[in-house]
Structures are given as structure tokens and as C-alpha cells.
Chain A
Amino acid sequence: MHGRVKVKTTAQQEEEKRKEREKKLKIYVAARDACFSKRKEGVCDDEALQLTQQLLSSNPDFATLWNYRREILMHLETVKDRDEMQNIYEAELSFLEACLKVNPKSYGSWHHRGWVSARLPRPDWARELSLCDRCLSLDDRNFHCWDYRRMVVKVSGVPVDQELEFSDRLIGSNFSNYSSWHYRSTLLPLLHPQTPEAGQEPPHASSPRGPQSHRVCEEQLLKEYELVQNAFFTDPNDQSAWFYYRWLLGRAEREETVSCVYVSREDERVAVAFSRPVNICDLPPGTINDVANEHNLTVHWTGSHTHRDCALYTGRVESWCRDTATDQELFRSELSVEKTSVLQSELQSVKQLQELEPLNKWCLLTIILLMRALDPLGYEKETLAHFQTLKQVDSMRSEYYSDLCSKFMIENTILKMEYAEVRVFSITDRNLTSLCHLDQLLLVTHINLSSNRLQRLPPQFAMLQCLEVLEADNNFLENLEGVYHLPRLQEVSLKNNSILSCRCSFRAQISVSSGTPVLGIGSFCDLCSYLAAYK
């Protein structure tokens, strides 16, 4: 065969490439050194601009050079007029586009672009937006671009509805994108805020609603439910849509309230439960030292301008005033009647999906959450069954599900306790792995946590200021730090646990195991040494 094309061998090509690289490196190092020495001498000339441009166009992640470049540009601002600067900055933007092509996720390039855009005498924001669009069409999860875009939108005042359309478009092309869904969740409350009368006003309206509510009006909510359902029916394994769905189903942030004030004459104590952590002041001395008189207490939460009154009448040893979990619908969404029917239909849809995808974890979890929002006690049995399935299909997160299930079981028990109007909290043989909502148990005198899988009684256990009897047999308790500060505790039963260390002294009747001596009230003991001796 004649006329064949002769081609270089791979070895030849390799060698050439190596030489090429060597040559490039030499040039690069020389230019870098030149830049550094110029900067040291404080030179801000065109040559420095060119040198940094050469270097940055091959390596746009060289932060020092971007800084140098900004120094030069700021110097030029002092010597050139507005139009000249406009041209220089426009050239800078084109140069930056080239850099972004080299590395679309270069921190330096995006930051510099933001800096230049902000200093440009006559900025062209439309051009910046279209740059972002192009960039996001290539990689819709480029968070640098998302950040820059948000800046452009903010500065140029793009209307919110246009931005919502933008989010429609992005979700339409690929709904597996947290950025798009999240952006949506920030836009909707601005564009379609919840009308005040639709939201059930909390009992104490004394606290003004925050300037921006995070809720969305019901009409728009329905549309969003539909949109997001399309996403999770199309791909139930994609979690971004499920997270957005949970945001939609979620309720407002808890009101800042003083949820409970408890006064005890005997102990000269006042216990106050707040809806979130606070710094407290000391009880003014002599507040309730009077044995017989009536006391009217008012607790003011200065941070949130709320307060709660509590009266201790003559002859009473204790008194309290509180919101119950039931009143606050604490463990449910804040729902109007219509919304309940909406949630009911949402539950139907997700159940429909579950029939098609019985082992999908997101679907199961969402069913559980919807059932909680609708009727936590009524759906208790089904909820527990779903938790069982969840732990099997997603065994990697079985402990998470156990904790979540514990939380729901505790919530249900609180509700039951409140309906029964008792101060006894009993939750046994429920596989509890963690304790929560302890602030709701301020008034509880008897607690029974036996036969669960608890490993600790956390420090927050100290919130049970009225607790007299603690039963926690048959658990895996290793330490008891939560029982250190319980002033009224009289009886503790911790049979069949695995307590390793405890360094506390308290007066209580402790029965660790059957057949062990019972410590009488008032006898102080070092439990740790006691246990050590017992072992």
C-alpha cells in the first residue's frame, strides 16, 4: 500500500508533550516571580495587569494575583476617568469569562467578578444574568454561580415573580437540585405570603409576628404540593423533592412563649419553662417566703416581650399556670380546618405512591409525618408499623428512626397524660432510645421509663423539677447525670441497667436491683462508691 499517512508514535508524542510542559512551566514561573517582585515594589502599571492576566488565565485559582490585580485596578481608578474605567472593567469581565471556562468553580474568579460588577460605573446586569443562565445550563448545581446570581438579582432588583419563573425553569429541566428548590422556598413567602387571618393566631398575641412569615398562602401551597408530587412520583428516590415537601408541610417556628410557671411555697421555688433557651435572673429574695399569704407572680420575658402570670393563693402549697401541649397543638402542624382536609388528601396521594413503591423510605417517612400532623394518637399503630418497615429498608439509619420514633411516642404519651389530667408520665416497653420534650414534663411527679433502650438520662432531665419518683428499670443506662439536680426526687429505681460511673450525691431512695439495700430518705450517699462496693 502506498500513500499511507505516517503518524508519530506515542513515545514521540509523549516526549513532545513533556518538553512542551517543561517550556510552559518555565514561562509560568518567570512570570510569577516578575509579578511578585512588582507587587513588592508597589508597581501598578499595565505590564503588571498583563502579567497577572497571563498567569490567571492558565491558573485562575491564584488568589494572591487576584488581590494584586484589584490593587492595580483601584490605583487606576484614581488616575483614569469614568469612561476609561468602564472600558477597563468591561475588559476585565471578558477576561473573567475566559477564566471561568478554565475552572467554572474557581472561587477567585467568581469573587473577582462580583467585585468588578460592583465597581463598574455602568453595570449591565442583564448580561450578568445571562452569564449565570449559561453557566447554570452547563452545571445547574454550581453553587458559586448560584451565589453570584443571588447577588446580581439583589443588586439589580429583579422582581420576585421573575425569579420564581427562573426556579420553575430550572426545576423543569432537572428537579434533582436542592439549590432550585431552596431558592423557591425563599421566594414563595415573599411573593405569596400567608394572609394573617388564615393562620390561627396563637393564644398570646402579645408578641408581634415577625416581620417576615415563613409561611405561604394556602392557594399557592396547593400548587406547590402538586408540583412536588410530580417530582417524587417521577423519581421517589430523589431526596431533594422530599425535603422541599417537608418544608411545605412544616409549620411556623414556635412562638416565643413562657409556656409554664410553677410556684412551690414549701421549697420557695419558682420554675419557669420557656419555649427556647434563655438567660435567667435570680429569684428576688423574699418572693414567696410568706407561709400563708397570696402571691401574684408575673414572669416577663424581656427578649420577646411576653409574660405569664401565676397566682399562689392562700393555703395552697403550690400553683402553676401553663399552655398545654394540646392547647398549642405543639406536636402537629398549625392547621386550619381546610388545611386538615388538604393534608388528608396529601396523605392519600403519598399512600398511593406507597402502594406502588412499598419499600421507598422517603415515602414511608412522609406518611409518618403526615399522620403525625393529622392525628398522632389515632394513627399511632400504623405509624409504629411504618417505623418497623423503615428500619428494615434503611437499616443504615435504623438508630435515627428509633430516636424519631421515641420522640413521637413521648409526644403521644404527653398528649395522653394531658387528656387524663394527671402528673404521671409512664412510657414502658416502647423501645425508647432517647428522651425529648422534657420541658413539657415540668409538673410531672412520677415518671416510669422502664423496659426501654435508654442509654442515658441527659442533663435536660433536670427540667423535671417536680419529679418525686423515677423508675427506669430494664434499660441500658450508663450514667445518671440527669438526676443530679432534682430537688424533690425521693425514689429511684434503676434495676437491671449497666451503670458504669456516677459521681453524685443526692438524697433519694435508690433500689438498684432486687435484694439490694434500700437507701432511706435523707441519707446521702456517693452512689459511685456504693455501686463499686456492690459490684
Chain B
Amino acid sequence: MAAEDLPSEFDVVILGTGTVHLSFLSGDNFLFHLRRSYYAANWASFTFNALLTWIQEQQVSSCLWASTPQVSPQSHLCVLIGGASARARQGLAEEESAEAEEESAEAEEESAEAEEESAEAEEESAEAEEESAEAEEESAEAEEESAEAEEKSAEAEEEKKINYAQLVKEGRRFNIDLVSKLLFSRGSLVDLLIRSNVSRYTEFKNVTRILTYHHGNLQQVPCSRADVFASRQLSVVEKRKLMRFLTSCIEETEMDQAYSNQPYSKYLQDQQLGENLQHFLLHSIAMVTEDTPTEAGLASTRHFLRSLGRYGNSPFLFPVYGLGEIPQCFCRMSAVFGGIYCLRHSVCCLIVDRDANRCKAVIDSRGQRISCSHFVVEDGYLEALGCLFVCRLLSRAILITDSSVLPSDSEQQVSMVTIPPGEVCQSAVKMVELCSSTMTCMPGTYLVHLTCQSVGSAFEDLSQLVTKMFQTPESQEPGTTIDPRRPTVLWSLYFNMADGSVPGVEGQGLPSNVHVCSGPEGSLDHEHSIKQAELIFQRILPDEEFCPPAPNPEDIIYDGESPTPSAEEDSVKEAGQQEESGGDLNIRYTTV
């Protein structure tokens, strides 16, 4: 669509396609602008090669923008590349990082200018200036992840089964997400996928096991009945106690009022469960902290348990080809019903009726005026416009490793690992280890995502844990003994990103029909995003059902056509363009 002119009138213009945006589905007239060549903004999935390009972009843009202190003071992009073949690259990257520092001074100045300009642009709310448009685009691209690049050399290892060149060569076959999340089997996203029939485009893998880091060891957390039965680490009495606690949790018996002001950890302590079980329940099942109130702790325990067993032996699902698939599935559905998508396209200014405090139209990056009744934008773009500052960050690490952190009979395990705060890192770390059948890494490797709330930079926050659990260049320093069973890190990436759970920017002087949604946040599930999408949807269309079931192709009536089957099929193709498969396709899943 990029080359053609767009229609000049839409009901809703949406900038960016994160998961939040895409839950808009009704038959309205939508225009999605995508400022990049990929869908889903920070929700994106990349092929390995695209991820390398993204890293370069971030490094380049960081040279220009990201050292602006108030945007991302602690950002730290650090690419670690293992294997001898990485050497050539390494030299180049080091040069880059040198440049980056030099240019950072300039960057600051420029960014200040850009902010001014963009602010003006909004106020003037009239003509689009080519320059400001460019500036906006660039500043937005800088976003949160970025910053000084730092490359660390990896010692050349011989006899490595998979080397960097192979990763690059096979890179097209697998997708790597920027965010790391899972779907609770009874979470609102799964409900939404089923209710809206978007599930017909999706395919999932079950998370096969829940692990936790406890007393310096990785342990499997028994959470289902079968797990408890099979567990070798629990005594039979512990098994009974755990099962009894879990059963009583599900039954939602009245909570003991004595604990209404007490932390969940205290409540667990008083259930005479023993240290082991308390650890499992607090950190791996409820996934809360020591000071979470009992009520909240019980609620998350229940949420976990309710999801258990719906599609398999764990409460979590992971989309095959990565989380980036989910926004795309919504896109596909929306496109079938007339939503228009525009990649590499942006909005450069809004035309605001000051008296009504409404945005009447947007001017796109090519100067076209597009009238709209509503405008939805991700806060990342506003940040670039200077309307918002990120105050909380997430520390992320992505690793490609050569074996599982806890080898088992099956190579195709998808593991969710919780590392409680204080165990290695200051904050609680959530780790997801994906096997190759999730199509996120090449056969013989595992993709590991680590996420935690930032204390320092991503590298500062997470590298210690990585060194401890995996074999990295650091852990190979002389004098340290390495467990040979530990997986080797073949490639790693550390970066910080904005935490979208920070309260939004409502009422910050934005026009009433401009709706802001946040980017991905640090929690494991999608509850926050779905809730937000529903809220925005209801503000725009207060009388409409949120994500109603999409009709089956055979139930759609086409004007002036007789409902013969063949004609129907054709017309579906016409209307749908991208539609790939009809019929009832529920969530499919495969087990290991």
C-alpha cells in the first residue's frame, strides 16, 4: 500500500501494531500505520538476521539519540557473540561503539531540537513539515532500547557443534521475540483468541515444565497432579501437603481473615508446608514476592491452577514462531474485514480542533491528510514526541545455547524458570527456555529469554546469572571450575526496554480522541495489555462488543451474489485477500 495513496477518511487511525492495538477487530474502518518494515513494534519477532539488523539499527540510532539521559539513562545494549567466526564482526562492532561515544554529545543536542520541533508540530497542528516528520521518525526509532554498544569477545572454541555462521545461515528459519511472555491457558488472551475466532490463525506449544532455581540448583516444580505423583524430590508427606494446599486453593474457601493484612509468605509459613513447598508456591506457582499480601498471593495461585491442565500438563502456552505471531494473527483477521495496513509509514502531525479538544485528522509522512474520528498511538511514539518519559525499565537478555539448563529424556522441552530475588540477582528473574520445535531457534539449540525489573543495566542485572547457569566466556576464566553439563552460550544479547506497566499518560493535554496504549510490560502474561485494549475500545465504541466472534466465511452475505458455494468462496477471497484458511480451527497444541 505504501506506494499508493490511501483513502482520505478512516474511522480510526492506529499507529503501531502491538498486541494492545490489535485487539480491535470490528467491522470499522481502520488504518494501521507501521513505521517500520515489521509488524508489532516492541512486540516484534525477528528472524536471527533481522535481529542482527535491528541491533545495528539500535546501535546506529543510539549514536544519534539514545544517550539523551532522560530517555533511557541506564540502557545498555550489549551483544555477545561466541565462536571464532564472530571475530571479524567483533572488530567492526568495537569501532562502532567508539564512534557511538563520540557522537553521543552531538546526539543530545539534536534530540533536544527534535523534541522542540515535534512539540511545535503538535501545537501548530497544521501543515506537515518534511523535516519534523523525519526527526520524529528517527526519535521514535531510538525509543528505549538502544545506547552505547559494547561488544565482548568470546574465546574461540573449537569443536563447537553449531557456530555463528550456521546461526546466520539458518537464521531465516526461526523467530526471536523482543518481549518474553507466555499465555495462561485460561488467561484473557486465550479467551480473546477463542472468542474472536482469531485462534484459527494460531498454533501453540505447551510449556512442558516449570523449573525454579533454589539453593543454587535447578529443580522441577511439581504443580500438576501427575507432576506431584512423579516427583522424586518430594517425600510422600510433602506430596500430600502440597496437593491438599492446591486443592483447597482451587475450592476458593473463605480466606482466613487473620491473614488479610499479612503477606502471602507468612500465610504459607503457617500452613506447615516446609521450606521446599513454600518456595515452590511463592516463587513458581503464585510467582509473587515475599511481601505480596495473602489475598493477592492466593489469587495468583488460583489463576495458575485454573490454567493447569486445560491444554496440557502446565498452565502456559507459547505461540509457535513466537509472540510476534499474535499481533499478526489479529492483523490478518482485521485485514479480512477491511482493515488497511501500511508498513514503513508514519503520522507526522495531528490536526487538532482546539475548541473541541479533538483530533480531526492526521498528516502522514508523505503529506497526505487523513481524516479520522479516533487516533490510537503507542506511548513509545509519544515518548519520541517528548510527551512522556520512561521511568521504569526492564532488563532483558536473549541467549542462544547448545543444550537445556536441565537435560531430560526429551530434547523438546519448553521450560519456564523462576529465579527468586536474592538468589543470584537483585530482582526476580523470569526465564523461558524454548526448544527448536517452537520455531524460535534452530534444531540442536535453545533460545533463552531472561526478563527482570531493571536495577542497573541489563548486562549488570543479568550477566551474573547467565555466567552461573551457562558456560560463557566469563565463566571460562582460569581458576573457576565449570560443570561440563552446563549449556554453552553461543550468542547473547542484553538490552533494556521500557516497562509498559507504568501508568499511562491520560489527561496530559492530549486531544480527547487520541488514545494512548502502553508497550509491553514485564509481567509474564498479557492481562495488562488486553485490559488496556478493551478499555480503549470501549472509549471509542462504547456500545460495541469487544472482539466479537468473527463470522465463518460461509455465513457472510455478499451484496448481489447468490449464495452458491463456489461464488461464496470466490468472494471470500476477494474480500479477504489475505485470508488463508476458513473453518473452525481451535487452538491446536502438540505435546513433546
Verify if A235 is at the interface (C-beta below 8 Å from B). Answer: yes
CA distance A137 to B241 in the complex (A): 29
Whether B11 pairs with A1 at a CB distance below 8 angstroms is yes
Given A3-B27, A5-B27, A172-B230, check contact A234 B557 (CB 8 Å). Answer: no
Q: Are B229 and A172 within 8 A (Cβ)? A: yes
**Is B236 a contact of A233 with CB atoms below 8 Å?**
yes
Q: Say whether A235 contacts B236, CB under 8 Å.
A: no
Chain A residue, CB-CB nearest to B559: A6
Interface assignment of B244: CB less than 8 Å from any CB of chain A: yes
How many of B's residues come within 8 Å of A, CB to CB? Answer: 26
In the complex, what residue of chain B is closest to A172 when comparing beta carbons? Answer: B230
- Which chain B residues lie closer than 8 Å to A174 at the CB level? 225-226
Assuming the contacts A172-B230, A356-B240, asked whether A234 and B225 have C-beta atoms less than 8 A apart, the reply is yes
Closest to A229 in B: B236
Closest to A356 in B: B240
Per the bound structure, the CA–CA distance linking A470 and B28 in Å amounts to 94
Q: Does A173 contact B (CB under 8 A)?
A: yes
Inter-chain CA distance A174–B224, complex, in Å, is 10
Mark interface residues in A326-367 (1 if CB within 8 Å of B CB, else 0): 000000000000000000000001001100110000000000
Q: Which residue in A1, A2, A3, A230 is a CB contact (below 8 Å) of B236? A: A230
Asked whether A234 lies within 8 Å of B29 as measured between CB atoms, the reply is no
Interface string of B231-260 (1 = CB under 8 A from A): 000001101110110000000000000000
Q: In the assembled complex, how far is the CB of residue A184 from the closest CB belonging to chain B, in whole angstroms?
A: 15
Bound form: Cα–Cα A115–B558 in Å: 51
B200-244 vs A, Cβ < 8 Å mask (1 yes, 0 no): 000000000000000000000000011011100000110111011
Q: Does B555 contact A (CB under 8 A)?
A: yes
What CA separation (Å) do A8 and B551 show in the bound complex?
Answer: 9
Q: Are A7 and B556 in contact (CB under 8 A)?
A: yes
Q: CA of A4 to CA of B230 in the docked complex: distance in angstroms?
A: 54
**B557, A8: Cβ atoms closer than 8 Å:** yes
- Of listed A13, A172, A234, A356, residue having the most chain B CB within 10 A: A234
Closest to B337 in A: A5
Which residues of B sit under 8 angstroms from A3, Cβ to Cβ? 27-29, 338
The residue in A4, A5, A236, A356 that gathers the most chain B C-beta atoms within 10 A of its C-beta is A5
Residues of chain B within 8 A (CB-CB) of A492 are: none
Given contacts A3-B27, A356-B240, contact A175 B556 (CB under 8 A): no
Cα separation A349 to B555 with both chains bound (whole Å): 62
- A6, A173, A229, A233: which contacts B557 (Cβ < 8 A)? A6
Report how far A137 CA is from B226 CA in the complex, Å.
Answer: 14
| B237 contact set on A, CB distance < 8 A | 233, 352, 356
Instruction: Please measure, in the bound complex, the distance between the C-alpha atom of A233 and the C-alpha atom of B238, giving whole angstroms.
Output: 9
A353, B240: Cβ atoms closer than 8 Å: yes
Q: Which residues of the other chain, A, contact B229 by a CB distance below 8 angstroms?
A: 172, 175, 230-231, 234-235
**With the chains together, A137 CA to B592 CA distance in Å?**
12
- Nearest A residue to B313 via CB reads A173
Determine which of A8, A137, A230, A233 lies in contact with B555 in the assembled complex, contact meaning CB atoms within 8 Å: A8
CA distance A352 to B226 in the complex (A): 22
- Mask, A1-24, CB within 8 Å of B = 1, is 111111110000100000000000
Task: Find out whether the CB atom of A7 lies under 8 angstroms from the CB atom of B226.
Answer: no
Say yes or no: B239 contacts A7, CB within 8 Å.
no
Q: Which chain A residues border B555 with CB–CB below 8 Å? A: 7-8, 13
CA gap between A13 and B557 in the complex, in Å: 12
Compute how far the CA of A229 lies from the CA of B236 in the bound complex, rounded to whole angstroms.
Answer: 7
Q: Which of B28, B228, B557, B591 contacts A1 (CB 8 A)?
A: B28
Q: Please give, as numbers and ranges, the residues of chain A lying within 8 Å of B551 by CB-CB distance.
A: 5, 7
- The verdict on A175 contacting B240 (CB below 8 Å), with A1-B28, A5-B551, A7-B555 known, is no
Task: For residue B30, give the distance in angstroms from its CB to the closest CB of chain A.
Answer: 10
With a CB–CB cut-off of 8 A, which chain A residues contact B228? 234
Query: A3–B556 Cα gap in the complex (Å)?
Result: 13
Contact in complex: B226, A175 (CB < 8 Å): yes
The 8 Å CB contact of A173, one of B27, B29, B226, is B226
13 sampled A-B residue pairs with Cβ under 8 A: A1-B29, A3-B29, A5-B556, A7-B551, A7-B556, A175-B226, A175-B229, A230-B236, A233-B237, A233-B240, A235-B225, A349-B236, A356-B244
Can you add 14 more A-B contacts, CB < 8 Å, to A3-B338, A5-B337? A1-B28, A2-B29, A3-B29, A6-B556, A7-B555, A7-B556, A172-B230, A173-B226, A173-B313, A174-B225, A175-B229, A233-B237, A234-B228, A235-B243
10 nearest A-B residue pairs (beta carbon): A233-B236, A4-B27, A6-B557, A7-B551, A234-B229, A233-B240, A8-B555, A233-B239, A234-B228, A234-B239
